[in-house]
Amino acid sequence: MSDEPAVENARKDFIREIIDEDLASGKHEGTVTRFPPEPNGYLHIGHAKSICLNFGIAQEYGGRCHLRFDDTNPTKEDTEYVDSIKEDVRWLGFDWGDNLYFASDYFEQIYEWAVHLIKEGKAYVDDQNAEQIREARGNLQEPGTDSPFRDRSVEENLDLFQRMKDGEFGDGEKVLRARIDMAHANMNLRDPVLYRIAHAHHHRTGDAWCIYPMYDFAHGQSDALEHITHSLCTLEFEHHRPLYDWFLDNLPVPSRPRQIEFSRLNLNYTVMSKRKLLQLVQENHVSGWDDPRMPTISGIRRRGYPAEAIRDFCKTVGITKFKGTNDIGLLENAVRQVLNKTANRYMAVLDPIKVTVTNYPEDQVEEMEAMINPEDPDAGMRKVPFCRDLYIEREDFMEDAPKKFFRLSVDKEVRFRCAYWLKCNEVIKDESGEVVELLCTYDPETRGGENPPDGRKVKGTIHWVSARHAVDAEVRVYDRLFSDEDPEGGEGSFLDNMNPDSLHLVENAKLEPCLADVGVGECVQFERLGYFAVDPDTTADRKVFNRTVPLRDSWAKKQKK
């Protein structure tokens, strides 16, 4: 696990070194990269690593980065995903300008290139079904066997491929394959499938096509058509690179991109595959793709993670060829670092217990002053009303407190942040013995929380809210979605490792009145509790907050135990 801090003048990663060489040698005059999502799900934090790399290179080198949808699989794709992906890339702070492309825009050209290969004797129509093709492929120890249809004439192949395109055959009845080498050491070069039949509606081309190119036969050619210089992808494509190059070598493409692989981002305590994320959504384990517990960009945005923190995190993780898993605590720390600088401070009580200040005048209200953000003096001060009726956090009071408990207990004094020192004199309980109210007195000589002239000391400071002025709110206290570091490891389903306490719903939180004005999406600090963002479920008369991240990493402590 790598959790070294970001170093400003860090050595360039190996991809940027390659780019430097290519520019210095004159191989390229500038950089053109691309981010190529398949629109079959929402983007996740792993995609952010690829986005930051590709768009980051464009920014640093004054090049451009294309957003290209790899939409060659009509049955799983949808415009809902196209729209969400665009929104997420923009939110992360990147701009593709005019460079929005779809692999489906190249279907005609890719088809012509398939015809070109047939004419060169380098592709053939195979009547075997998927099962037969798989069996004939051999394995790492044994070569494959040639298809009985491998030696069809060019004319027959051209005719059959045309008829495949015209819709004469059903799904799976025929495929077009490259004619490379069934004994090749790299399995990807054992006559890979180029086109398959799928009578399916495509989200952009409609019913114009019933044959679709395979990913491998579309990707490199799309790169070449867009004059991509460096085609950056994750390590699982390493063994596809010889095929990527074979197509570029055997087709009259207009440019020669270079594929370079890097290791994908993995995080503990989460799953990242789109198939599993889709399962979480479809089986209602979460409220949707943008559930704040999801590792999707839309989920973490809703939770309150700032885009800047995600970019910082991706920089810290860096680009290498080493496979590994990063600690999610690293991401949470990046979030804390940004929010500590930017989030305004307020007081909120999530589990209220009533406090009555018995020696405070019944009708009096004082406007106490508190800093909006101690990390940003320009943010100025806010006013917080103080009166006889207050709320404090239930866990900030203990009747029989041990010596080290520096919060409120009977006959003990504590500082109420930016207000006064209060002493608890009496505890009122209901029939069941639960504490319902604390009767306290305040010391007028401690206004603003200052030390009194007699030199008395207190150790603790607690937060509070005026009961008369409080704004009611719902607070969704989120924790990690999985309680196991490696949810996909071990026996059984990853669903068995879901954290049953990943959502704690607080329906009756009491907020400082200033919080009534905080808008949807804004993230603030509730003093002593953590960072919280206003959820879009907020209505005119009910505020809803999501806990973004607690102030400290409580999991680090748990793990030590």
Among 15, 16, 46, 209, interactor with ligand ATP by CB under 6 A: 46
Q: Give me 24's structure tokens.
A: 């210095």
Is 343 a binding residue for ligand ATP by CB under 6 A? The answer is no
As a whole number of angstroms, the distance between CA 395 and CA 506 comes to 15
Q: Give me 227's structure tokens.
A: 């004059």
As a whole number of angstroms, the distance between CA 9 and CA 197 comes to 51
The count of C-alpha atoms lying within 13 angstroms of the C-alpha of 156, restricted to the half-sphere facing its C-beta, is: 9
Residue 128 vs 234, nearer CB to ligand ATP? 234
Is 276 one of the catalytic residues? no
Residues 346-385 that bind ligand ATP (CB under 6 A): none
Element (H, E) at 249: helix 241-250
Give rounded-to-5 percent helix, strand, coil for the chain: 30, 25, 45
Is 274 one of the catalytic residues? yes
As a whole number of angstroms, the distance between CA 294 and CA 292 comes to 6
Residue 35 vs 478, nearer CB to ligand ATP? 35
Q: CB of residue 377 vs ligand ATP: minimum separation in angstroms?
A: 39
* DSSP 8-state class, residue 206: B
Q: In what order do the strands lie in the sheet with 530-534?
A: 345-346, 523-526, 530-534, 543-550, 471-478, 503-511, 348-349
Is 273 a binding residue for ligand ATP by CB under 6 A? The answer is yes
Residue located via tokens 């490792």: 497
Residue 44 vs 480, nearer CB to ligand ATP? 44
As a whole number of angstroms, the distance between CA 300 and CA 531 comes to 13
**Among 32-40, 425-433, 451-459, 547-555, which window interacts with ligand ATP (CB under 6 A)?**
32-40
Q: CB of residue 121 vs ligand ATP: minimum separation in angstroms?
A: 32
Q: CB of residue 304 vs ligand ATP: minimum separation in angstroms?
A: 22
Catalytic residue among 64, 174, 274, 301: 274
Residue 352 vs 487, nearer CB to ligand ATP? 487
Q: Give me 138's structure tokens.
A: 């051999």
Among 32, 58, 265, 328, interactor with ligand ATP by CB under 6 A: 265
Catalytic residue among 122, 137, 256, 264: 264
Which DSSP string corresponds to 282-293?
HTTSSSSTT-TT
Catalytic residue among 38, 308, 485, 522: 38
**Among 141-149, 269-277, 354-362, 492-500, which window interacts with ligand ATP (CB under 6 A)?**
269-277
Q: CB of residue 104 vs ligand ATP: minimum separation in angstroms?
A: 15
**C-beta of residue 198 within 8 angstroms of C-beta of residue 174:** no
DSSP 3-state of 184: coil
DSSP 3-state of 486: coil
As a whole number of angstroms, the distance between CA 527 and CA 449 comes to 15
Is 47 a binding residue for ligand ATP by CB under 6 A? The answer is yes
Q: List the one residue out of 43, 54, 140, 145 whose CA is nearest residue 91.
A: 43
Among 6, 18, 272, 372, interactor with ligand ATP by CB under 6 A: 272
Q: CB of residue 551 vs ligand ATP: minimum separation in angstroms?
A: 29
Count of beta carbons in the 10 Å neighbourhood of residue 295: 23
Question: H-type helices in 5-106, by residue range?
Answer: 14-24, 45-61, 79-91
Q: CB of residue 36 vs ligand ATP: minimum separation in angstroms?
A: 5
Q: CB of residue 13 vs ligand ATP: minimum separation in angstroms?
A: 13
Q: CB of residue 318 vs ligand ATP: minimum separation in angstroms?
A: 12
Residue 331 vs 465, nearer CB to ligand ATP? 331
**Among 114-122, 265-273, 301-309, 334-342, which window interacts with ligand ATP (CB under 6 A)?**
265-273
Total binding residues for ligand ATP by CB under 6 A? 14
The count of C-alpha atoms lying within 13 angstroms of the C-alpha of 15, restricted to the half-sphere facing its C-beta, is: 26
Is 382 one of the catalytic residues? no
Is 264 a binding residue for ligand ATP by CB under 6 A? The answer is yes
Among 15, 32, 49, 229, interactor with ligand ATP by CB under 6 A: 49
Among 128, 234, 250, 337, interactor with ligand ATP by CB under 6 A: 234
Select the residue whose beta carbon is closest to ligand ATP and give its number. 46
As a whole number of angstroms, the distance between CA 218 and CA 251 comes to 12
As a whole number of angstroms, the distance between CA 345 and CA 375 comes to 10
Which residues lie near ligand ATP (CB under 6 A)? 36-38, 46-47, 49-50, 233-234, 264-265, 272-274
